[in-house]
Homo-oligomer: A and B are copies of this chain.
Amino acid sequence: MAETTETGRKVTTSDRIKDLILSDGLRPGDLLPTEGELCTRLGVSRSNVREAIRKLSTLDIVDVRHGHGTYVGEMTLDALVEALVFRGVLSPGDDLDALRDVVEVRKALDHGMSEQIVDALKGTENSELKALVDEMTALAAAGKTFPQQDRAFHTGLLAKLGNSLVGQLVAAFWDVHTAVLPKLNVAVASDLEQTAQAHGLMLEAAESGDAEAFRAAITAHYEPIMRALEQK
Protein backbone atom coordinates (compact mmCIF):
# COMPACT_ATOMS: atom_id res chain seq x y z
CA MET A 1 0.00 0.00 0.00
CA ALA A 2 1.52 3.30 -1.04
CA GLU A 3 0.25 6.83 -0.62
CA THR A 4 1.63 9.77 -2.53
CA THR A 5 2.95 13.01 -1.05
CA GLU A 6 2.27 16.46 -2.44
CA THR A 7 5.61 16.27 -4.22
CA GLY A 8 4.64 12.98 -5.84
CA ARG A 9 6.95 10.73 -3.81
CA LYS A 10 5.40 7.32 -3.06
CA VAL A 11 5.10 6.77 0.69
CA THR A 12 5.26 3.06 1.55
CA THR A 13 4.27 1.40 4.81
CA SER A 14 7.96 1.00 5.63
CA ASP A 15 8.41 4.78 5.19
CA ARG A 16 5.50 5.34 7.58
CA ILE A 17 7.02 2.99 10.17
CA LYS A 18 10.26 4.94 9.89
CA ASP A 19 8.33 8.19 10.41
CA LEU A 20 6.65 6.65 13.44
CA ILE A 21 10.05 5.71 14.92
CA LEU A 22 11.08 9.36 14.54
CA SER A 23 7.84 10.92 15.81
CA ASP A 24 7.76 8.58 18.82
CA GLY A 25 11.38 9.48 19.52
CA LEU A 26 12.48 5.82 19.54
CA ARG A 27 16.19 4.98 19.60
CA PRO A 28 18.14 1.83 18.58
CA GLY A 29 17.24 -0.94 21.04
CA ASP A 30 13.79 0.54 21.89
CA LEU A 31 10.71 -1.64 21.50
CA LEU A 32 8.41 -0.87 18.55
CA PRO A 33 4.59 -0.94 18.91
CA THR A 34 3.14 -4.42 18.29
CA GLU A 35 2.02 -5.52 14.84
CA GLY A 36 -1.61 -4.94 15.85
CA GLU A 37 -0.89 -1.43 17.14
CA LEU A 38 0.99 -0.59 13.93
CA CYS A 39 -2.00 -1.78 11.85
CA THR A 40 -4.34 0.47 13.88
CA ARG A 41 -2.09 3.53 13.92
CA LEU A 42 -1.20 3.35 10.24
CA GLY A 43 -4.60 2.07 9.06
CA VAL A 44 -3.05 -0.73 7.01
CA SER A 45 -3.44 -4.50 6.94
CA ARG A 46 -1.44 -6.97 8.98
CA SER A 47 0.20 -8.50 5.88
CA ASN A 48 1.20 -5.00 4.86
CA VAL A 49 2.87 -4.33 8.21
CA ARG A 50 4.58 -7.72 8.12
CA GLU A 51 6.07 -7.13 4.68
CA ALA A 52 7.30 -3.68 5.71
CA ILE A 53 8.85 -5.06 8.90
CA ARG A 54 10.65 -7.76 6.91
CA LYS A 55 12.10 -5.14 4.60
CA LEU A 56 13.20 -2.91 7.49
CA SER A 57 14.69 -5.96 9.18
CA THR A 58 16.82 -6.74 6.11
CA LEU A 59 18.17 -3.19 6.34
CA ASP A 60 18.76 -3.57 10.12
CA ILE A 61 16.46 -0.58 10.68
CA VAL A 62 14.39 -2.88 12.90
CA ASP A 63 15.43 -6.03 14.74
CA VAL A 64 12.82 -8.81 15.00
CA ARG A 65 13.44 -10.93 18.13
CA HIS A 66 11.07 -13.86 17.78
CA GLY A 67 8.96 -14.35 20.87
CA HIS A 68 10.03 -10.97 22.25
CA GLY A 69 8.95 -8.27 19.84
CA THR A 70 10.38 -5.92 17.25
CA TYR A 71 12.99 -3.35 18.29
CA VAL A 72 14.62 -0.40 16.56
CA GLY A 73 17.76 -1.87 14.95
CA GLU A 74 21.39 -0.86 15.14
CA MET A 75 21.52 0.09 11.46
CA THR A 76 24.71 -1.80 10.71
CA LEU A 77 25.93 -2.10 7.13
CA ASP A 78 25.54 -5.90 7.02
CA ALA A 79 23.07 -5.63 4.13
CA LEU A 80 25.62 -3.62 2.17
CA VAL A 81 28.23 -6.31 2.80
CA GLU A 82 25.87 -9.04 1.63
CA ALA A 83 24.95 -7.18 -1.56
CA LEU A 84 28.55 -6.25 -2.35
CA VAL A 85 29.92 -9.73 -1.67
CA PHE A 86 27.39 -11.19 -4.06
CA ARG A 87 28.13 -8.58 -6.67
CA GLY A 88 31.82 -9.35 -6.28
CA VAL A 89 31.23 -13.06 -6.79
CA LEU A 90 28.85 -12.53 -9.69
CA SER A 91 31.22 -10.37 -11.66
CA PRO A 92 32.32 -11.74 -15.02
CA GLY A 93 34.42 -14.91 -15.12
CA ASP A 94 37.84 -14.80 -13.58
CA ASP A 95 38.41 -11.17 -14.29
CA LEU A 96 38.76 -9.55 -10.93
CA ASP A 97 37.17 -6.20 -11.56
CA ALA A 98 34.83 -6.36 -8.58
CA LEU A 99 37.59 -7.19 -6.10
CA ARG A 100 39.88 -4.59 -7.63
CA ASP A 101 37.07 -2.02 -7.20
CA VAL A 102 36.75 -2.89 -3.51
CA VAL A 103 40.51 -2.77 -2.89
CA GLU A 104 40.74 0.60 -4.66
CA VAL A 105 37.95 2.01 -2.50
CA ARG A 106 39.62 0.72 0.68
CA LYS A 107 42.89 2.32 -0.43
CA ALA A 108 41.14 5.59 -1.33
CA LEU A 109 39.43 5.78 2.06
CA ASP A 110 42.71 5.09 3.89
CA HIS A 111 44.47 7.77 1.83
CA GLY A 112 41.57 10.21 2.09
CA MET A 113 41.40 9.84 5.88
CA SER A 114 45.19 9.90 6.36
CA GLU A 115 45.37 13.52 7.51
CA GLN A 116 42.69 13.03 10.18
CA ILE A 117 44.24 9.75 11.37
CA VAL A 118 47.69 11.29 11.74
CA ASP A 119 46.16 14.30 13.55
CA ALA A 120 44.30 11.97 15.92
CA LEU A 121 47.26 9.68 16.69
CA LYS A 122 50.12 12.19 16.78
CA GLY A 123 51.94 12.00 20.11
CA THR A 124 49.86 9.08 21.40
CA GLU A 125 50.85 5.49 22.18
CA ASN A 126 48.54 2.74 21.10
CA SER A 127 49.63 -0.48 22.73
CA GLU A 128 46.60 -2.45 21.49
CA LEU A 129 47.43 -1.59 17.86
CA LYS A 130 51.12 -2.33 18.47
CA ALA A 131 50.17 -5.75 19.89
CA LEU A 132 48.23 -6.49 16.68
CA VAL A 133 51.25 -5.53 14.57
CA ASP A 134 53.45 -7.88 16.64
CA GLU A 135 50.97 -10.73 16.19
CA MET A 136 50.82 -10.12 12.42
CA THR A 137 54.62 -10.05 12.21
CA ALA A 138 54.92 -13.35 14.13
CA LEU A 139 52.24 -15.03 12.01
CA ALA A 140 53.82 -13.76 8.77
CA ALA A 141 57.21 -15.13 9.88
CA ALA A 142 55.51 -18.52 10.34
CA GLY A 143 53.99 -18.25 6.83
CA LYS A 144 50.50 -17.81 8.23
CA THR A 145 47.80 -15.31 7.23
CA PHE A 146 46.31 -12.91 9.80
CA PRO A 147 42.83 -11.78 8.72
CA GLN A 148 41.45 -11.16 12.25
CA GLN A 149 44.41 -9.06 13.33
CA ASP A 150 44.37 -7.18 10.03
CA ARG A 151 40.68 -6.28 10.34
CA ALA A 152 41.09 -5.33 14.02
CA PHE A 153 44.03 -3.07 13.14
CA HIS A 154 42.16 -1.15 10.43
CA THR A 155 38.94 -0.76 12.40
CA GLY A 156 40.95 0.15 15.53
CA LEU A 157 42.85 2.84 13.66
CA LEU A 158 39.64 4.39 12.32
CA ALA A 159 37.90 4.15 15.68
CA LYS A 160 40.23 6.98 16.76
CA LEU A 161 38.37 9.35 14.41
CA GLY A 162 34.90 9.38 15.94
CA ASN A 163 33.39 8.99 12.45
CA SER A 164 31.25 5.88 12.86
CA LEU A 165 30.35 5.76 9.17
CA VAL A 166 33.90 5.50 7.87
CA GLY A 167 34.72 2.84 10.48
CA GLN A 168 31.72 0.76 9.45
CA LEU A 169 32.44 1.21 5.76
CA VAL A 170 36.05 0.13 6.10
CA ALA A 171 34.97 -2.90 8.15
CA ALA A 172 32.30 -3.68 5.55
CA PHE A 173 34.78 -3.48 2.67
CA TRP A 174 37.26 -5.53 4.62
CA ASP A 175 34.63 -8.26 4.96
CA VAL A 176 33.78 -8.06 1.26
CA HIS A 177 37.46 -8.25 0.39
CA THR A 178 38.11 -11.36 2.51
CA ALA A 179 34.84 -13.04 1.47
CA VAL A 180 35.44 -12.54 -2.25
CA LEU A 181 39.14 -13.36 -2.25
CA PRO A 182 38.95 -17.15 -1.75
CA LYS A 183 35.86 -17.53 -3.96
CA LEU A 184 37.75 -15.99 -6.84
CA ASN A 185 40.81 -18.20 -6.37
CA VAL A 186 43.22 -15.32 -6.09
CA ALA A 187 46.47 -16.44 -4.55
CA VAL A 188 46.81 -14.96 -1.08
CA ALA A 189 49.40 -12.24 -1.52
CA SER A 190 52.71 -14.02 -1.15
CA ASP A 191 54.30 -11.16 0.64
CA LEU A 192 52.73 -11.58 4.07
CA GLU A 193 55.80 -10.07 5.70
CA GLN A 194 55.54 -6.88 3.65
CA THR A 195 51.89 -6.52 4.63
CA ALA A 196 52.58 -7.16 8.33
CA GLN A 197 55.49 -4.71 8.29
CA ALA A 198 53.42 -2.03 6.51
CA HIS A 199 50.92 -2.03 9.37
CA GLY A 200 53.79 -1.33 11.78
CA LEU A 201 55.02 1.51 9.56
CA MET A 202 51.51 3.02 9.37
CA LEU A 203 51.25 3.02 13.17
CA GLU A 204 54.73 4.47 13.73
CA ALA A 205 54.17 7.20 11.15
CA ALA A 206 50.79 8.18 12.62
CA GLU A 207 52.10 8.27 16.20
CA SER A 208 55.06 10.41 15.16
CA GLY A 209 52.78 12.76 13.19
CA ASP A 210 54.44 12.08 9.83
CA ALA A 211 51.61 12.26 7.26
CA GLU A 212 53.89 11.64 4.28
CA ALA A 213 55.38 8.47 5.81
CA PHE A 214 51.85 7.36 6.72
CA ARG A 215 50.70 7.65 3.11
CA ALA A 216 53.81 5.81 1.87
CA ALA A 217 53.03 2.99 4.34
CA ILE A 218 49.43 2.78 3.03
CA THR A 219 50.76 2.38 -0.50
CA ALA A 220 53.23 -0.32 0.66
CA HIS A 221 50.39 -2.03 2.53
CA TYR A 222 48.28 -2.43 -0.62
CA GLU A 223 51.18 -3.18 -2.93
CA PRO A 224 51.13 -7.02 -2.58
CA ILE A 225 47.37 -7.33 -3.21
CA MET A 226 47.47 -4.84 -6.10
CA ARG A 227 50.35 -6.84 -7.61
CA ALA A 228 48.42 -10.10 -7.21
CA LEU A 229 45.39 -8.53 -8.91
CA GLU A 230 47.47 -7.20 -11.80
CA GLN A 231 49.11 -10.58 -12.42
CA LYS A 232 45.76 -12.25 -13.05
Contact = CB atoms under 8 A, between A and B. Distances in A.
Given A59-B79, A108-B113, 16 more contacts: A18-B86, A21-B90, A27-B90, A28-B90, A54-B55, A61-B83, A80-B80, A80-B83, A98-B165, A101-B163, A102-B165, A104-B166, A105-B109, A105-B166, A108-B109, A109-B109
Contacts of A28: 90
A91 to B, nearest CB: 9
Contact of A59 (B27, B51, B83, B110): B83
Interface string A44-62: 0000000100110011110
Interface string A19-33: 001100001100000
Interface of A: 18, 21-22, 27-28, 51, 54-55, 58-61, 75, 77, 79-80, 82-84, 86-87, 89-90, 97-98, 100-102, 104-105, 107-113, 116, 163-166, 169
A86 B74 CA distance: 11
Contact of A101 (B90, B97, B107, B165): B165
A18 B90 CA distance: 9
B83 A79 contact: yes
B77 A80 contact: yes
Interface core residue of A79, A89, A107 (most chain B CB under 10 Å)? A79
A56 B201 CA distance: 42
Contacts of A55: 54, 58
A21 B89 CA distance: 11
Top 10 A-B pairs ranked by shortest CB distance? Answer: A108-B112, A112-B112, A101-B165, A111-B112, A58-B58, A75-B87, A59-B83, A80-B80, A101-B163, A108-B113
